Structure 1
Amino acid sequence: MHAIRLHAFGPAENLRYDTVSDPEPGQGQVRIAVGAAGVHVVDTALRQGMPGPFPLPELPTVPGREVAGTVDRVGADVDPDWIGKQVVAHLGTAPGGYAALAVADVARLQEIPENLDPAEAVAMIGTGRTTLGILQFAEVGPEAVAVVTAAAGGIGTLLVQYLKAHGATVIGLAGGPEKVARVTGNGADIAVDYLRPDWPDRVRDGLGERGATVVFDAVGGDTARAAVDLLAKGGSHLVYGFAGKGPNDGQALTFTDDELAERGITSQVVLGPPMLRRVGGDIRVLEDRAMAEAASGRLRPAVHRFPLADASGAHRAIETRATMGKVVLIP
């Protein structure tokens, strides 16, 4: 089969399109003929040799931890009725997704709803579950006035959709006119280019006397600080990233207890352990919610597709903030 392999840590060009042996499912596993493989920002860090939530792999390695496709073979102790089913899975700590065939534990499988294609299903099993996890920390409803940073991204797109479906007023921030147009089309009440210095004034003009009740912060830096300045007393600042491309972005925005008390707001990092504690440590709960939202049509992920052979291009696009939506590879 064809697969992307990393032979040495370093730049995106180190990802090579190779021919390798087909994997075989072990006990309790299935093999998936991959229709789409997810690419995550964590993949770009691991490729460079930077450990994070996952340890550095032994080389050579086939990266990728999110796959969707058709079960074509099952291992020992697996119900053969899985063969032929359309499934999606997050592989957990084991890589192997950037390939024509991938192996997954049967306990990790989710059947793909009929209204989703494999690329959209990949977006929901990773980005979707994270979005539903973030939303556990927000009061959502007609009284909410939400600022969504990185609103043209994978998580941002789903946040805007969810918030609008529940009656909130949504302000979407994005970097550049094309992304702003995407945010407007996704339903945001106010969409602005955060690379323009006057964007906070445009938001205030649109809101009138109202202040924001929540900021969903994925960018950090000056952009996040300006967004937090829009919060009314009692508002909340929810941090799930700091990858903005505005001036001085790219670092987490933090506050002292005294600053929070003076402003009358709260600020917390919601990604990782805080999110998992809300579901008793069971990430499957969030996956189930994400797939149910997609099956109902309430959430529709944005997907940015690349051919499997161009995994290096996908990595470069993520690193230069040139993507809109979840990045996936199509074998």
Structure 2
Amino acid sequence: MHAIRLHAFGPASNLTYEKTEDPVPGPGQVRIAVAAAGVHLLDTALREGLTGPYPAPAALPTVPGREVAGTVDALGEGTDPDWLGKPVVAHLGMAPGGYAELAVVDAAKLHEIPPNLDPAEAVAMIGTGRTAMGIVQFADLGPDSVAIVPAAAGGIGTLLVQYAKNAGATVVGLAGGPAKTARVRANGADLALDYLLPNWPELVGEFLTSAGHDHATTVFDPVGGPTARAAVDLLGPGGRHLVFGWSSEGIRDGGPLTFTQEYLTERGITSESVLGPTMLSRAGGPDPLRTLETRALTEAAAGRLRPAVQRYPLAEAAEAHRALENRGTTGKVVLIP
């Protein structure tokens, strides 16, 4: 098979497209002929040897990537034979290996792809979609809600805009540049603004007043930095600042936007990081991550959520990484073998 391999930590150019041995499924596993492989911003940090929610690879060379969709083409010993030939999607978890024409995964991690989703869309929902489902558990959105979504043209932002609109909320989507704001507007946001404009907070305030709202009620914060800070300033008493990333500060050397308890009390708002154990405890079930994956795929199958996907050929994984790092992508980045 062909795969993307990383022989040394470093820049995107270290990702090389190579011929390598076909993986063989072990007991209880399947092999997937990959039709789409997900790329995450975290992958760019792991490529450099940095740690985060997942540890950096312990040994090199490695095949990056943890989200795949395709067709089961081989079974390991003891695996249910009904999986053979089925279209499936899976999050590989701690084990990489997704940037390849073939990938091995435990059968317990598999989901059948709903008939109305293509493999790239299914990959988006198994990773980005499950995170979005985890985030909205904390939002309590309704017709009286006003949600501000920074990075609204991204993979998670696209889904959050759709979810909030489905809940009846008024949605303000922020994105960088006219092309991205046009996508946010087409995705259903009531107001789509370029956060590169210095007066965007004033424009949001004017819009809220004209729409009969005194303030925002929820800020979904994947970016940190001054954009998120300005959005939080638009929250009113009882508002929620839900933190799930910090891309504007840089996944390598930044961190999420934080506030003192004195500030939060004075403003009458809450600020909470919703990733990790907090998210999982809310999801419930014997396997909370699978619970969220199932919810995400169910929402997509019903047509209530539709992921935005930007596709790259597998051989161009390095270019996909560079585009992610330079904020040159829209939606979920997916590699196509």
Report the TM-score range of the alignment, normalised by the length of the smaller protein: over 0.9
- Residue of structure 2 aligned with 1:292, choices 298, 308, 321: 298
Q: Kindly provide the amino acid, as one letter, of the partner of residue 98 in structure 1.
A: Y
- Which residue among 221, 225, 231 is the counterpart of 1:217? 221
**Counterpart among 294, 313, 332 of residue 307 in structure 1:** 313
In structure 2, what is the equivalent of residue 31 of structure 1? 31
Give 1:56 shift.
2.0
The one-letter code of the counterpart of 2:111 is Q
Instruction: Please say if residues 245 and 321 of structure 1, whose CA atoms lie closer than 8 Å, have aligned partners that are also in contact.
Output: no
Tell me, yes or no, if structure 1 residue 271 matches structure 2 residue 275.
Answer: yes
Q: Check the 8 A contact 2:159/2:306 in 1, yes or no.
A: yes
Distance of 1:63 and 1:211 partners within structure 2: 43
- 1:166 and 1:216 mapped to 2: Cα distance? 15
SS in structure 2 opposite 1:275?
A: helix
Aligned length in residues:
329
Cα distance, 1:242 vs. partner?
Answer: 1.2
TM superposition shift of 1:276? 1.1
1:210 Cα offset (Å)? 2.2
| Backbone CA RMSD of aligned residues | 1.3
The 1:132–1:145 alpha-carbon spacing in structure 2 relative to 1, beyond 3 Å, is same
**Residues 219 and 250 of structure 1 are in contact (CA less than 8 Å); yes or no, is this contact kept in structure 2?**
no
Deviation, 1:252, is 2.0
**Aligned ranges for residues 60-139 of structure 1 at < 5 Å?**
60-139=61-140
User: Contact (CA 8 Å) 1:31, 1:73: kept in 2 or not?
Assistant: yes
State the one-letter code of the partner of 1:310: E
1:244, CA displacement in angstroms? 2.5
Further displaced range: 290-299 or 46-55: 46-55
Q: Work out whether residues 68 and 86 of structure 1, in 8 Å CA contact, stay in contact via their aligned partners in 2.
A: yes
How many percent of aligned residue pairs carry the same amino acid?
Answer: 70
**Contact 1:150 1:218 survives alignment (8 Å):** yes
Q: CA separation in 2, counterparts of 1:154 and 1:65?
A: 16
Question: Aligned AA for 2:189?
Answer: A
The equivalences for 1:312-327 within 5 A come to 312-327=318-333
Q: Mind listing any 5+ residue stretches in structure 1 that lack a counterpart?
A: none
For each residue in 1:221-273, what CA deviation from the matched residue of structure 2 results, as whole angstroms up to 9, or x when unmatched?
Answer: 11111101111111010001111389xx9642111111101001000111122
Provide the rounded CA distance (Å) in 2 between the counterparts of 1:174 and 1:269: 22
- Cα deviation digits, residues 77-120 of structure 1 (max 9, x gap): 11111111000000000010000000010000000001100000
Q: How does 1:191-206 map to 2 (within 5 A)?
A: 191-206=192-207
Structure 2: distance between partners of 1:271 and 1:55: 16
Query: How far has the Cα of 1:289 moved from its partner?
Result: 0.4
CA contact (8 A) 2:27 2:77 kept: yes
1:226 matched to 2:230 = yes
Which residue, 238, 258, 266 being the options, matches 2:242?
A: 238
**2:54: which partner in 1?**
54
Q: Deviations over 1:45-74 (max 9, x none)?
A: 110011222222210000000000000011
Q: Which runs of 5+ in 2 are unaligned?
A: none
Distance (whole Å) between structure 2 residues aligned to residue 65 and residue 323 of structure 1: 19
Q: In 1, are the aligned partners of 2:225 and 2:249 still within 8 Å (CA)?
A: no
What letter corresponds to residue 92 of structure 2 in structure 1? L
TM-score (norm 2): 0.96
Aligned equivalents of 1:76 and 1:253: distance in 2?
A: 48
Q: Distance in 2 between matches of 1:54 and 1:225?
A: 27
Report the equivalent of 1:259. Answer: 263
1:167 corresponds in structure 2 to 168
Calculate the TM-score normalised by the size of structure 1.
0.97
What is the one-letter code of the residue matched to 1:255?
F
- Equivalent residue number for residue 145 of structure 1: 146
